[in-house]
Amino acid sequence: MADVDPDSTPGLKGSKTKALREIKKERNELFELHERLYAERKRSLLVVLQGMDTSGKDGTVTHVVRSFNPQGVLITPFKAPTPAERRHGFLWRIRRRLPEVGFIGIFNRSHYEDVLIARVHNLAKPQVIARRYVEINKFEKELVRTGTKVIKFCLHISYDEQRRRLLDRLKDPMKRWKFNEHDIDERAYWDDYMSAYSLAITKCSTPDAPWYVIPANDKDYRNWAVSKILIETLREMDPRYPQPKLDIPRLKKRLRD
């Protein structure tokens, strides 16, 4: 995390205005790629979003869904586990929300909370957290083996940018509903969170399920970067429309009769 400047815009060539026009042009392709994935019904895509409070997870979800057919998208915001969820292993509730074949699943927070907040606030013993990294890698490798592509985004904002966004929520009556005083308390653990994120990304970024650290101080750049990675991922998956065996002349004749 320390190697990524939250204000930077890697990969962006030309003006931001040009990049935003590029996103709009690619939305049609993203929609078609998703439609092909949905029609193919052989594989799925899981998108994991993590980041500090105000980093733009909700905004990214809104931006991403705009490019896809909502019928084939499953969005899950993971909050603190319920008493029922605590009675199971930390991956239990995650498995229950995995996307079906043909679907794109979007996790707003995820199983990584159990090695992030759990580490920062000592909610689990160090040896338990160490085992969780191994479990996560095994879990994600199994997802890929059974047909679910996994990509993970860490939306990286700065300490000062978070302060500005929290102040904006207080100033704007339309945004105050988002404000949670607990977010101010959590700022005291900023360095601990950065260390926890760095460790999780280092231990759990694999060829099967890569992590992408997205500089997110600039919201437009964040959306551009996530869109580019999504379209590259789906192009690589290259889903195909199924070709059922149909007697086209006979069916046309029936429709004309």
Note the pLDDT tens digit of each residue in 56-105: 999 999 988 888 988 899 999 999 999 999 999 999 999 999 999 999 99
Distance between CA atoms of 106 and 47, rounded to whole angstroms?
5
pLDDT of residue 16: 78
Residue 43: pLDDT band by 50, 70, 90 thresholds? very high
Report residue 12's pLDDT band, with 50, 70 and 90 as the boundaries: confident
Q: Do residues 55 and 213 touch, judged by C-beta distance below 8 A?
A: no
Q: Could you tell me the pLDDT band of residue 129, with boundaries at 50, 70 and 90?
A: very high
pLDDT at 246: 86
| Per-domain boundaries in the chain | 16-256
> Is beta strand 104-108 parallel, antiparallel or unpaired with respect to 73-77?
parallel
Nearest Cα residue to 156 out of 213, 225, 108: 213
pLDDT of 23: 81
Judged on CB neighbours under 10 Å (0-12, 13-18, 19+), 57 is buried
Spatial distance between the Cα atoms of 223 and 232, rounded to a whole number of angstroms: 14
Q: Considering the chain, what percentage of its residues have pLDDT values greater than 70?
A: 100
* Residue range 185-199, pLDDT digits in tens: 999 999 999 999 999
Q: What is the pLDDT of residue 190?
A: 97
Taking residues 134-138, report their average pLDDT: 98
* Per-residue confidence (pLDDT) for residue 247, from 0 to 100: 83
Contact 99, 67 (CB under 8 A): no
Check residue 244 and give its pLDDT. Answer: 85
* 76 phi-psi bin (left φ>0, alpha ψ -120 to 50, beta other): beta
pTM: 0.93
- What are the contacts of 133-142 at 24+ separation with CB within 8 A? 133/200, 133/203, 133/204, 135/90, 135/91, 136/91, 136/111, 136/112, 136/204, 137/203, 137/204, 137/206, 137/209, 139/91, 139/94, 139/111, 140/204, 140/206, 140/208, 140/209, 141/206, 141/208, 141/209
At 138-185, the pLDDT tens digits run 999 999 999 999 999 999 999 999 999 999 999 999 889 989 899 999
Distance, C-alpha 4 to centroid of its chain: 19
User: Nearest Cα to 164, choosing from 15, 22, 6?
Assistant: 6
CA distance 56 to 74: 19
**CA 115 to CA 133: how far, in whole Å?**
7
| Non-local CB neighbours of 206 within 8 Å, separated by 6+ positions | 137, 140, 141
Residue 257 has pLDDT above 80, yes or no: no
Per-residue pLDDT reduced to its tens digit, 204-217: 999 989 999 999 99
**Fold (topology level) of 16-256:** Rossmann fold (3.40.50)
Q: Please, which residues bridge with residue 156 across strands? A: 215
pLDDT (average), residues 26-38: 93
Would you state the structure tokens that stand for residue 194, as one six-digit string? 């950065």
